[in-house]
Amino acid sequence: MPGPAESDYRGGMASSPVSIDDLRRRLVAAQQGMQAQGWGCLLVSPGPDLRYLTGYEALPLERLTCLVLRDGGLPFLVVPELEIAAAEASPVGSLGLDLLPWAETEDPYAKTADMIGPLTSAAVDNHMWAEKALPFASALGDVPLQLAGPVLSSLRIRKSADEVTALREAGAAIDAVHERMGEWLRAGRTEREVAADIDRAIIDAGHVRTDFVIVGSGPNGASPHHEVSDRVIEEGDPVVVDIGGTTAAGYCSDETRMYSIGQPPAEFLEYYAVLQEAQWTAVAAVRPGIPCQDIDAIARDIIAGAGYGDLFIHRTGHGIGLETHEEPYIVAGNDRQLEAGFAFSIEPGIYRSGAHGARIEDIVVCGEDGPLLMNDRPRDLQVL
């Protein structure tokens, strides 16, 4: 292909749960955040930050596309001439953003710096590639670069009502896949075969993209990062199924449920009960004002109290929205307090190396009075 983008042919044009007015408010808030930090400009390359601020779903590629917010001037979008039509077909057109097009043989960094004028500092989005960030720093006169993460994630971390609706739709879509697990998961099939069925079902359930499929049967369930293998699932296996995708609105799903093929080992049932209590107690503790690390500690203390502390080897959760992993992270050391609208996973796990493992995961939004659950499937072990 001559140009930029991954197709979104499964779900239609970058449908967005936000209105043009919402995008305008986000742009203004980002500009204000930039000014509060004293940055001369804020540069946002293709990715979730750009989609959040403009609705434009461009992929990061070699040609420079970049939103420029600047102190004392209107925002504009640097765009390859070839992609003007694609940019204008996105919400960028309705937003009325000025474009700064550049031709195939021009230097877009120098052209952007000319348009911005002299400044003493600049911030870049956290995912900007070094090959874009370093030329920007140089074209802008070797100004020190800052990471825009603190400003942009402080906006993205608080989900609006429309965004919570989008996360709920994503949650319902992945629930619908878990609901069908009995059709595919049985003794005699390989993890890979089951995963291929799940993949198709994730798309059929209303996602435009499958992001990951983990089917960890028996001993493979003891590695939290196992994905799939050619292992044949056996009678008595506990199976970790952790799956997610992205909807047309751009929001991600992520849900883990536990299955067993017939009766699992007694030892497994013992720690599964502990895990279920830990997960649910952490979910129930969600409310504005509680620090992220406390949610982690609540789950961890219950697991440690039952003697399984050494077998819970990862953080309790991660934020979710336009990315599967974003702020806030539910991890020891993160003293950030939850606020209404924060969205994240709660997914403690217990991993008995060489034998089996278990994880239960829900996406939770912090509501004004407590947790709002984005997933709805039973958290009991599903014996198939």
Residues paired with residue 79 on neighbouring β-strands, in sequence order: 101
Site for a copy of itself in 327-346 (CB under 8 A): 329, 331-333
- Alpha carbon distance 124, 147 (integer Å): 5
Query: Token pair of 87, please?
Result: 């940019």
352 Cβ contact list (under 8 Å, min separation 6): 222, 267, 268, 271, 311
Residues paired with residue 257 on neighbouring β-strands, in sequence order: 241
Q: Which of 78, 86, 205, 282 touches a copy of itself (CB under 8 A)? A: 86
Contact 102, 83 (CB under 8 A): no
377 Cβ contact list (under 8 Å, min separation 6): 175, 178, 179, 255, 257
Is 110 one of the binding residues for a copy of itself (CB under 8 A)?
A: no
Is 270 one of the binding residues for a copy of itself (CB under 8 A)?
A: no
- Alpha carbon distance 306, 298 (integer Å): 13
**Distance in Å, CB of 83 to a copy of itself, minimum:** 6
Is 212 one of the binding residues for a copy of itself (CB under 8 A)?
A: yes
**Distance in Å, CB of 198 to a copy of itself, minimum:** 8
**Distance in Å, CB of 141 to a copy of itself, minimum:** 15
Q: Which of 315, 322, 363, 382 touches a copy of itself (CB under 8 A)? A: 315
User: Between 126 and 337, whose beta carbon lies closer to a copy of itself?
Assistant: 126
Q: Which stretch binds a copy of itself (CB under 8 A): 123-131, 272-280, 284-292, 373-381?
A: 123-131
Q: Which stretch binds a copy of itself (CB under 8 A): 8-16, 33-41, 157-165, 262-270?
A: 8-16
Is 301 one of the binding residues for a copy of itself (CB under 8 A)?
A: no
The single residue listed with the structure tokens 């609706």 is: 165
The single residue listed with the structure tokens 């599903």 is: 382
Site for a copy of itself in 131-170 (CB under 8 A): 131, 133-134, 145-147, 149
Give how far the C-alpha of residue 7 lies from the chain's centroid of Cα atoms, to the nearest Å: 19
Q: Which stretch binds a copy of itself (CB under 8 A): 27-35, 67-75, 121-129, 282-290?
A: 121-129
- Alpha carbon distance 191, 102 (integer Å): 48
Q: Which of 50, 113, 128, 274 touches a copy of itself (CB under 8 A)? A: 128
- Alpha carbon distance 97, 115 (integer Å): 15
Is 72 one of the binding residues for a copy of itself (CB under 8 A)?
A: no
Q: Which stretch binds a copy of itself (CB under 8 A): 110-118, 165-173, 193-201, 262-270?
A: 193-201
Q: What is the largest CA-CA distance in the chain?
A: 70
Residue 174's H or E segment, with its range, is helix 161-179
Cα–Cα distances (Å) from 384 to 232, 259, 274, 277, in that order, read 16, 7, 21, 22
Is 1 one of the binding residues for a copy of itself (CB under 8 A)?
A: yes
User: Between 131 and 369, whose beta carbon lies closer to a copy of itself?
Assistant: 131
Site for a copy of itself in 349-378 (CB under 8 A): 349, 359, 361
User: Between 138 and 263, whose beta carbon lies closer to a copy of itself?
Assistant: 138
User: Between 88 and 162, whose beta carbon lies closer to a copy of itself?
Assistant: 88
- Alpha carbon distance 122, 141 (integer Å): 11
Q: Is 83 helix (H, G, I), strand (E, B) or coil?
A: helix
Residue 352 has φ and ψ, to the nearest 5°, of -100, 95
Q: What x/- string results for residues 213 through 232 when contact with a copy of itself is judged by CB under 8 A?
A: xxx-------xxxxxxxx--
Q: Which of 162, 211, 294, 301 touches a copy of itself (CB under 8 A)? A: 211
Is 244 one of the binding residues for a copy of itself (CB under 8 A)?
A: yes
**Distance in Å, CB of 99 to a copy of itself, minimum:** 15
Is 195 one of the binding residues for a copy of itself (CB under 8 A)?
A: yes
The single residue listed with the structure tokens 């009960």 is: 273
How many Cβ atoms from other residues are within 10 Å of residue 275's Cβ? 26
Is 286 one of the binding residues for a copy of itself (CB under 8 A)?
A: no
Task: Please count the residues of the chain.
Answer: 384
User: Between 111 and 287, whose beta carbon lies closer to a copy of itself?
Assistant: 111
